[in-house]
Amino acid sequence: MEITRTKGLAAGAAGLLALAAASAGAAYLALSDGDELRYRTQAALRGALPTTAAAELHDRGVRLRTALTCTDLPGLTAGRLGATCTGVTEDDRPVQVLGTGDLETDRSFYTILVAGEPLVENAGCLGADCHRDE
């Protein structure tokens, strides 16, 4: 098979386009920090928060005595989601988790306090949700 100059240039251009597309995709994945809104309803946020927060605490070496108990935050609107969870660590320190979401901006934020001290502040994801796209 004979490769002419035109075929060589066309193949090279196609290869560069494929490389550019792959690079753009990799850059998007690298720059997306996981703070997109994963839970689009109040029930979904409230239901997922105890599991994701417990996983985040476990990853950071904090063990819970019992499962976290969660309730809705007051003052919610159709576009604003929010839940809070409470619990106790194995060494009797109180745990409070706050999770919020905004449908308009498509962002969520999570904070975890252990004995009143922030362990996680305004994170875009918790636990396995942070690694979901990898």
pLDDT in tens, 3-40: 666 554 444 444 333 333 333 333 333 334 445 789 99
CB 82 within 8 A of CB 60: no
CA torsion 51-56-57-61 (nearest 10°) is: 130
Cα distances (Å, whole numbers) of residue 70 to 14, 51, 99, 105, 115: 53, 11, 10, 24, 17
Is pTM beyond 0.75? Reply is no
68, 48, 71, 40: which is closest to 126 by C-alpha?
48
Distance of alpha carbon 30 from alpha carbon 96, whole angstroms: 30
Q: Is the pLDDT of residue 90 over 50?
A: yes
User: Which residues lie across from 69 on neighbouring strands?
Assistant: 86
What is the per-residue pLDDT across 37-58, written as a single tens digit (0 to 9) for each? Answer: 899 999 999 999 999 999 999 9
Instruction: Please give the mean pLDDT across all residues of the chain.
Output: 80
